[in-house]
Structure 1
Amino acid sequence: MSLRFAAPDGVKVYTVAGGKNLPTWVSDKKKRSLRKDEDYNRRVELVQDFEFPAACQRIKVSADQQYIFASGYHPPRVRVYDVNQLSLKFERHLNAEIVDFQILSEDYSKAVFLCDDRRLDFHAKFGSYHKTRVPRAGRCLTYSHPTAELFVAGSAPEIWRLSLEEGRFMAPMPAASPGVNALGLSPAHGLLAAAGEEGLLECYDPRGLTALRFDDSGMHVAVGTSGGLVAVFDLRSQRPMVVKDHQYESPILDIKWPTTAAGRSRALVASADRHIIKFWDAASGEGFTNIEPKDGDINDICLWPGSGLAYFIPALGPAPKWSSFLESMTEELEERTAPAVYDDYRFITRAELDSLGLANLVGTNMLKPYMHGFFLDNRLYNKAKNAVDPFAYEAYRAKRVAQKLEEERKSRISIIKKLPKVNATTAARLLGEEGEDGPKKRKAALPNLLEDTRFKAMFEDTEFTIDEASRDYKLLHPNADPAKERRLVREHFEAVEGDGDAQSASDTEGQDDDQTRARKPAARHRVSGVF
């Protein structure tokens, strides 16, 4: 088997759908005699029966690139080829010659044929489904998927529109040419172009306007189209200031300009289609927030003036007077943690999955891949968590108890007391232990040591200063917690500042080194004796 090719311009072109080139005047009997021709039998046919007895007029490929449509005449017929099987899938005969056709679906299930008897023949999988007539002889047709409209043009100065969604003809679009020979629809912006007989090229925007709303100043207007676009215009300009695309290709149902409680416009636009309500900036088109209903479609929207109802959005304005309790409710909800996406499933990352020892479940129906992780059933997650760390609950419980105790301690009313300049940490510890005793012990407690004349000198004379960093103190108090003592001083007491520091400092500077060295052992000895 060999491929025939030609290279007229130095570029090889291989023939993959036939063998010898036979002239048109060769009779059918002569063609049948070629069955014994070796070269003819060795020809390449990429798709079997990829031919017509007389001629092929139109050929197109489906959107999913799985089927090839071809129409021919003598007799009028249409053939559909399956590229996966490289063969003919089916063939249908029509009553009139096919002028043009369009594939309405992604596969071969829906198609429409424009015939020379002014009929539009709609076909489904089973065959012909419906027929209708156009006013004049048609020459071409095209189909708009976003709007589900079929455009037909012919020997008349107009373009006929057939809405397949409503099942009726719409108002035709006038053309400047006496006849239209070709139609084209841009997949990028949806403009319809018509090529006329007198060399005229006309462009139309088939999208209809479905929503309109002025702002409070009256100088700006927002317009919604049937294709899901919202344009904001300044009445002094022909060009839109900004165009917002809902990206659903659904008609815009309604447009609102949200205002604050004072009535001043916040330059926000609320536009809605049947899928979503979008709040966005009227100057830049930047999104503010979106609202999507959980079930059902959106039919209309209504904004309470100066508020955020019916969905309460505090950023748009306060709640109305008759529902002012929403303010406190939203404040309470903000303090709570956000709920999970699903009640019975938990989102975990791949690292968490490996730490739980469940990496072998990847690819099974027990894990639902989502973004950068997986959704896992809460029951399975709890079992795996308990197996990996059986003491996790006890540690969590102890942590929660400590947090509750800390919150209760902070909620108490603490009296700020002034501490002495000497041995402030010791005084704070003694007073703190006295405050933590119960009411019965508090009644039988001894007098305040700071006011007792027997121990008053201990908190006034610097000779009784306790050096907590000394070796003797650490031996006598091995379980002392310096961090806790500093916390007590910082939270419950206030240090006394006076002239005593300066006086004691001047006295200390006037003493010589011998006296200082003689007094230090005495101070340590007295302190040790007291404790």
Structure 2
Amino acid sequence: MKVTNQGDVSVYTIAGANTARPLPDWLARRRKRSLKSDPEYQNRIELLQDFEFEEASQCVRISEDNDWIMSTGTYKPQFHVHYLPHLSLSYSRHTKSLNTTFLLLSSDYTKSLHLQSDRKLEFHTPAGCHYELRLPRYGRDLVYDRHATEALVPSVGLDSEGNGEVFRMNLEIGRFMKSYQIDVGSDDGVETGLQGSIGVGSVNTAAIAENSHNLLAFGTSVGSVEFWDSRSKSRVAILGGQEGEITALDFNPSGLSLATGTSNGLIKLFDLRSPKPLLQKDHGPGFPIKNLIHMTTSSQEKKILSADKQMIKIWDELDGETWTSVEPLVDINFVTWCKNTGMILTANEGKPLHSFFIPQLGSAPRWCSFLDNMVEEMAEEVSTEQYDNFKFLTLPELKSLSLAHLIGKTNLLRPYMHGYFVASKLYEQARLIANPYAVEEERAKRIKEKVEKERASRIRGNKKVKVNQKFVDKLLKRQEKRANVDTNAGVLGDERFTRLFEDEEFKIDENSREFQVLNPSTKVDPETGAKSTNPGAQSSDESGDSDDSDKSDDEMSLRRTTQKEMVMRVRSSNRESLSKDASLGSRAQKSGRVNKTRSGDVVGERQVTFVPDSGRKKKGDEAPRAQAKDRRTEARRSASTNVFRRL
């Protein structure tokens, strides 16, 4: 939600803040991807669902009960109906031709009258197009006279008598009545047709004082305003002498004054009892005025809204002083005001319709009352827009930057409360001089914060139980390897195994034989009960033969003494396999009962303890050991000698 300040009045752009003219789809998608990390784009507010058209919008109006919004747009020609309590689109409907303007005849959306660009009037209901009829000439505007139940259509061209016309369509009878004949000058063109020549006059706009005397006003292309009485169907007065064409009209709610807007951007305020204007105001850009609206603020101040295609201005009705202004990024086609609120809606050339909220004009409508709280929270925040060129620093911070000697000697330091405002350029230069590596440090700090944030986001399992905590940690570690840590999954979350982690009777005994069989790599000291893991036999030749050849005898002996004692378990369950590799001479026939206490016939598991020795031996010890005979290997099969020769 973007906020702009014009003086003391804040204008909040609710919808359409970051929009411009329509872009191609591929370029719009690329721009949306680039805005993924934009915090302003992430915190945007979508006031109404699908409050947009594919190309542009033409007109937008709010029902009298403030529950419905109807808007028309292109391309393709269509209109949308939004239900405000739900903040969503109720339905959309396509039409055959472009819509010029429309009116809501009922207090809700159920009856609407549409002026089309192909000289047609269409009556629409929720079921569809109820009826359509053809106009004799092209219409420019559309107003509804509730007292006479007539739809008035100002048109272009001249009738058979040489006057301009305002067609009267009586909705109760269902036929055209005699038109209001308006003086729009003569047609001096050479070629004339149904509408007239290119420079033919027209009745551009109309207004009705329906809350007071019900007087009708019609603005023409020759700069005159004609007033007609709807009861007597006669002309009451003519207001002429205006510069340019009359493009916008609006009565004051009291009916005593009239605001006129011309094609050259001039606005005049008239009292109906005097032909001289009470007030004249130049809107600024010089474009034709599209809308004029009399408004009353929450403090009962009288304001007037004027809009051309470039900007919207709200100014005081008494002195004409500008109160606030809004300048969207795209051209404006129509402006409407939610009565007695601070909400303004615009139909424009951009894809979405724009919504502006002015808290000082009035409170938010009841269908978006949450805007009041949001505006209050934003107003409480300290605004830094007026301090864009300054940095607030305290006295210790000034001393750390070596700027304390400038206090009271230059206007670059401006005292404020407990510190000073320092010019931004001076602050950046002093910061770089005091710490030349500030950029690198800031970058390293951000990288560290990002890494810590990613580490904190990792899922880590942690569950405390009364019994078998090591078993629980083991299960969670397995789950973490599978990247799926859930403290209530599997055995941990099964009610059938609850007592396994609560009852002492189910405590796992790590000294039991079953535990040692299932965990062969775990060694438990029978005296102390301490558990350790055997690292396995390690070779002392890992560093290579070349390294060992350079070492002295003292270093070799020191290595032997420092090596840890290794434990090896040998298990055999087949008694016949003990003599599998023995020679034929040692395979004596055994009869009778076998004595299992002999060392060569042990069945089961036994433990051998040894100290690993280096593969490098001293040369003096190699000769005697080569002559020694081992009785265990003497009878084994040799690869180069036939065993039968030894028998």
TM-score normalised by the shorter chain: which range applies?
0.3 to 0.5
* TM-score normalised by L of structure 2: 0.31
Structure with greater Cα Rg: 2
Q: Which has the higher contact order (CA 8 A, sep 6+)?
A: 2
* TM-score normalised by L of structure 1: 0.37
